Amino acid sequence: MAGPLPHLPVAHDPAPDRLAEVARNAASAVPLTSLMQGQTGVICEARLDVDDAALLRAMGLGDRVRVKLCRVGEPCVVALGTTAGRHCHCQGHCRIGLARGLADRIFVRVVA
Amino acid sequence: MKGAPPDGSGVGDVGDLPGVHTERTGTTKGGTTAPVSVHTPRSPGGEARRVALLGNPNTGKTTLFNRLSGLRAKTSNFPGTTLEARTTRVPAGIEGGRDGELIDLPGIYSLELDQLEARVCREVLAGTAAPRGEPLGAPEVVVVVVDASNLSRNLMLVGEVMRRRLPMLVVINMVDVAAKRGVSIDAQALGEALGCDAVPTNARSGEGVNAVRLGIKEARIATPALAVPGNADELRGWSEEMFNRGARAPSSSKCWNCGYHLEGLTTDTLGRGTCAECGKLVFVETHESNHAKRASRKEEIPETTSDRWDRVLLHPVLGLAVFATVMTGLFYSLFVIAKYPMDWIGAIFEWATTLAEAHLPEGVLRELLANGVIGGVGATVVFLPQICLLFFLISLLEDTGYLARGAFLMNRLLRPFGLPGHAFVPLLSSHACALPGIMACRAIPDPRERLATILVAPFMTCSARLPVYVLLTSLLFAGKPALAAFAFVGCYVLGILAAVFSALIARRTILRGKSRPMAMELPCYKRPSVRTALLTTLDRAKVFLRSAGTNILMICVVLWWLGAYPKAEAPARVQELRKLAIEAERTPVDAYSPSHSSGNAGQDTRLAIGEHQDAVNEITAEADRLEARNQATHSFLGRVGRTIQPVFEPLGYDWQLSIGVMASFAAREVFVSTMSIVVSGQEDEGSDSLFQSLSRATRDDGVTPIFTRATSWSLLVYYVLAMQCLPTLAVTAREAGGKKWALLQLVWMCGMAYIAAAIVYWLVA
């Protein structure tokens, strides 16, 4: 008779975690313009056309980038902060001005 | 300047075949498969190494270029794009070897973006584009300038260049700024990670520039420790990894300038000390202190001085007030300061004309030199100070970081008319000259908005219009400088209104489409570099003088010839006057005896002789005027004027004004010198005499003035709105991507000018 099956480690599937993270982000994501001055958020989604998204990414405004809203209004000024939890390499001195229409379509998760 | 030695992988297979340019798909280190362009560098001219200077905007690239070039830079275009590039020769220096030909490419964030600058950079790196007059060929060395204070983002561009497998050198600029922000760069470690030389510099102070020269000589194809991924998101991760390897604080600090180990160096509270080897100021940070700083700042993005300034300068009301003040100050200083050198240049040309007339024998050569060449070119070159000053001030403003804020402020005002805030700098530049203004439109990302800006930029009051404005406002408001100044400002406003109105129509019709929202990096405010501004100004001055020495000179000579030939016989009245003058001159001096008057006999005699001489001069001048008029009427120019005059009849122009307007189609500033030639038969003899001469000038009936109140207003409106600049049309055709746009610009502007001028003439007359 075969003995009881040995307890096999179950491979961890990262997909559900990622999906959960996306779901959490989607639930808590707010437009960048809804932050208050001085608040910090992490970019989780940008509903932009391809060219705008590519330009912003090249300028440093990519997914999971931490941004601080320095100025509300037109233009909306953000300071680039940390990326994926790491330290910001520009030491928070890099400022990007965004037209309000653009900032409205960038969604962030508020972190501070 | 250190780095990992090249391992030769992927290099040696093509390195021995000079001139080979192949493309292949290969697997790079790390398993990432991507199309790889392998370029074997070759010298296009066979003499100098072509070196391309590339980098993100605001990394101090142009400052470094100026440091390397000194005053030897020249400006040229890329064929088909009119994208300006500055090129220079970099001497090999004490190390020997060949000189370098350095090309300053436009600042870009990524080579892969769908932008004109990025396209040109891609083509230059691929060897399919080169500055005008230079042979095609891939650069032998690519110098990527990165901002040490924002290294990780800048390294993304480095990665993109690496994928092109070109010998490269990474210049880490603004290390002083980075050090002040607590980032210490280990150039050696970074060089080892990137697999190429990495040179720290401070281009502003000139430190490290010699090391760049040496680095250019020793540049090699990079062999990074980690393969460069093709995906943009992965590239960001790669750049961060490179940053972490290169920007970590070294456990044993070294001098950024000479590499000397700094253990035991005494530092002040800011971590600054003096290198014992080279004497340079160095920032020393221990690994622990740096780590602690990073940890403490991990969640904190500090408020900077620029943020505090931005609260005021980007404020909806205060910001606009400051902006209006800055712009007013800019244009005010333009007129106040430039006035003096303009007067000096005018005096020099006047002196040269007098000298030519005094020393050359009477004849065609004297007339050509004095009237055609010196007078004609002088009437244009006199505006050089205004152009130089405007470019100098714009360059200073740009260097402070304020112009980027100005673009956002203008975004609010321009957006309702379908123009982006990016259009602000091109439109401002167009106030000096439409050519650089149109070229600056390449910074506008949206093609429709770029095209709309190109089409309306020539409405801005360029410096070529200024002499016409000065002439007409002075004629309209003689002795009333305040009203003349008011009219002058009105011309600027009219030009701007016409531009935004035209843009609105274009964006609602032929260029209909969604506006692209604005995104722009806001550089930190800083003290501007006077040296950079001076070099930019020098560049512009050279371009202007080249134009004055070629196109405008040619126009002046042709106009002079058309006005001087065929030679007409002097009319009977002129001959009578000349006889009268000769007879009067022969009148004996003793005719003026003391008996003719009472009182002091000697003084009376002198007065009488003086009056007599004045009368003779007046008769001679009248004879000259009549002869010049007769010559102008019967010359080729006169015949052309009479032929085209009916076209300008509704605007109130006679044949003489028609000639002036037609000649201005080559260049607006030619109007004043043309009118001077046509009306008086003499070139500009100084402002006062020119104004007097033009205000006295009459039509063929000898009674009606050419410049009546109605025709002067009509001309003023016409010159504000009309497209009268062939070089601008040529640049529009190239920048907009077709002659049809230049034709549209010509027809639209001239049509609007014609209708508006006719209405004004009808209303005033």
A51:B113 CB<8 A: yes
Asked whether residue A75 is domain-assigned, the answer is yes
Question: Residue B652: enclosing H or E segment and its boundaries?
Answer: none
Regarding whether B468 and B579 lie in a shared domain, the answer is no
Name the DSSP letter for residue B368: I
pLDDT at residue B651, as a whole number: 92
For residues B589 and B546, membership in a common domain is answered with: no
Each residue of B460-474: pLDDT tens digit? 988 788 888 888 888
pLDDT in tens, B733-752: 878 888 899 999 999 999 99
Q: How far apart are CA A95 and CA A107, in angstroms?
A: 18
Looking at the fold, whether B69 and B96 belong to one and the same domain comes out as yes
Higher-pLDDT residue of B165 and B247 is B165
Domain identity same for B128 and B167:
yes
Domain housing A68: 30-110
Of B593, B611, B601, B663, residue with least CA distance to B632: B663
- Percentage above 70 pLDDT, chain B: 77
Verify that B504 and B525 share a domain, yes or no: yes
Is there a contact between A86 and B521 if contact means CB atoms under 8 Å apart?
no
Which of B232, B306, B519 is opposite residue A98, by nearest beta carbon? Answer: B519
Mean pLDDT score, B278-305: 56
Quick one: pLDDT at residue B514? Answer: 80
CB-nearest to A55 from B149, B153, B445 is: B445
Mean pLDDT over B253-266 rounds to: 60
Q: What is the pLDDT of residues B501-514, one digit of tens each?
A: 999 999 999 998 88
Each residue of B42-70: pLDDT tens digit? 444 445 678 888 888 878 887 788 788 76
Do B497 and B416 fall within a single domain? yes
Q: Among A55, A86, A112, select the one facing B519 at the smallest CB separation.
A: A55
> What's residue B742's pLDDT?
92
Please answer yes or no on whether A83 and B236 come within 8 Å at the CB atom: yes
Exposed, middle or buried, B534 (CB in 10 Å: 0-12/13-18/19+)?
middle
Contact A40 B301 (CB under 8 A): yes
pLDDT tens by residue, B370-393: 777 887 777 677 778 877 888 888
pTM above 0.90, yes or no: no
Q: How high is the pLDDT of residue B748?
A: 96
> Within the 47-76 window of chain B, which residues sit less than 8 Å (CB to CB) from chain A?
none
Per-residue model confidence (pLDDT) at position B599: 58
Do B483 and B555 fall into the same domain? yes
- Chain centre distance of CA B367: 34
Task: Kindly state whether residue B472 falls inside one of the protein's structural domains.
Answer: yes
Average pLDDT score over residue span B343-350: 86
In a domain, B31, yes or no: no
DSSP H or E run through B170: strand B167-173
Question: Does A59 map to a domain?
Answer: yes
pLDDT at B537: 85
Nearest to B430 by CA among B481, B483, B503, B358: B503
Instruction: Provide ipTM, 2 decimals.
Output: 0.76
Considering the domain boundaries, does residue A96 fall inside one?
yes
CA atoms within 13 A of residue B746's CA, in its CB half-sphere? 17
Does the distance separating the beta carbons of A60 and B110 come in below 8 Å?
no
Phi, psi of B169 (to 5 degrees): -135, 135
CA distance A32 to A65: 12
Whether pLDDT at B25 is above 50: no
In a domain, A83, yes or no: yes
**pLDDT above 90 (res B499):** yes
| pLDDT tier at B601, thresholds 50, 70, 90 | low
At B280 the pLDDT is: 67
**Residue B297: both structure tokens together:** 């700042």
Residue A53 lies in a domain: yes
CB pairs under 8 A between A and B: 146
**Residue B347 above 90 pLDDT?**
no
Q: Please, which pLDDT band fits residue A81 given cuts at 50, 70 and 90?
A: low
Mean pLDDT of chain B: 76
pLDDT digits (tens, 9 = 90+) for A37-60: 888 888 888 888 888 888 888 888
In a domain, B63, yes or no: yes
**How high is the pLDDT of residue B751?**
95
Same domain, B557 and B588: no
Give the range with max mean pLDDT: A77-86, B455-464, B629-638, B678-687. Answer: B455-464
Asked whether residue B511 is domain-assigned, the answer is: yes
Over residues A4-22, the pLDDT tens digits come to 555 545 455 555 565 666 5
Domain around B271: 254-297
What pLDDT sits at residue B682? 44
Domain termination site, one of B630, B650, B675? B630
Supply B64's token pair.
């470094």
Domain match, B557 and B572 both:
no
Give the list of residues 6+ apart from residue B638 with CB closer than 8 angstroms, or none.
Answer: B563, B632, B655, B659
Q: ∠ at Cα B18 (B17, B19), nearest 5°?
A: 115
Place B458 in a pLDDT band, splitting at 50, 70 and 90. very high
Same domain (yes/no): B457, B561: yes
CA-based nearest residue in chain B for residue A65:
B236
B82-126 pLDDT, tens per residue? 456 667 766 654 345 566 678 888 888 888 888 778 888 888 888
Residue B308 lies in a domain: no
The pLDDT assigned to B455 comes to 95
Q: Is B109 on the interface with A (CB under 8 A)?
A: yes
* Extended beta strands in B91-166, E state: 100-104, 141-147
| Cα distance between residue B43 and residue B21, in whole Å | 13
Long-range contacts of A22-28 (CB under 8 A, 24+ apart): A24/A109, A25/A109, A28/A109, A28/A110
Residue A19 is which amino acid? L
- Do residue B191 and residue B121 come from a single domain? yes
End-of-domain residue from the set B630, B647, B679: B630
Work out the average pLDDT over B267-291: 59
What's the total number of domains in chain B? 4
Closest to B668 in 3D by CA, of B481, B369, B460: B460
Q: What is the pLDDT of residue B250?
A: 40
**Strand B141-147 vs strand B49-55: parallel, antiparallel, or unpaired?**
parallel
pLDDT score recorded for residue B756: 96
Give the strand pairing for B197-200 and B167-173.
Answer: parallel
Closest residue in B to A85 (Cα–Cα): B298
pLDDT at A69 over 60: yes
Query: Is A94 contained in some domain?
Result: yes
Identify whether B29 is part of a domain: no
Query: A62 in a domain, yes or no?
Result: yes
CATH code at position A95:
2.30.30.90
pLDDT of residue B701: 74
Q: If you average pLDDT over residues B493-497, what whole number do you get?
A: 93
Asked if residue A23 belongs to a domain, the reply is no
* Residue B372 Cα distances to B280, B564, B623, B640, angstroms: 58, 10, 21, 19
The DSSP symbol for B6 reads: P
Q: Are residues B49 and B197 in the same domain?
A: yes
Nearest CA in chain A to B304: A93
- pLDDT (tens digit per residue) in B661-713: 887 876 777 788 778 766 655 444 444 566 777 777 778 777 788 889 999 99
Would you say residue B25 lies in a domain?
Answer: no
Query: Who has greater pLDDT, B248 or B732?
Result: B732
- What total of structural domains would you count in chain A? 1
Closest residue by Cα to residue B181 from B1, B304, B55? B304
B604: in domain: yes
- A75-79, B267-271, B515-519, B548-552: which has the highest mean pLDDT? A75-79
Is residue B480 helix, strand or coil? coil
Mean pLDDT score, B613-626:
80
Q: CA–CA separation, B358 vs B380, rounded Å?
A: 23
Q: Do B247 and A89 touch (CB under 8 A)?
A: yes
Last residue of a domain, one of B630, B655, B679: B630
The count of residues in chain B is: 765
Instruction: Tell whether the torsion through CA atoms of B702, B707, B708 and B711 is positive or negative.
Output: positive
In whole angstroms, how far apart are CA B564 and each of B66, B270, B367, B388, B676?
47, 75, 9, 34, 13
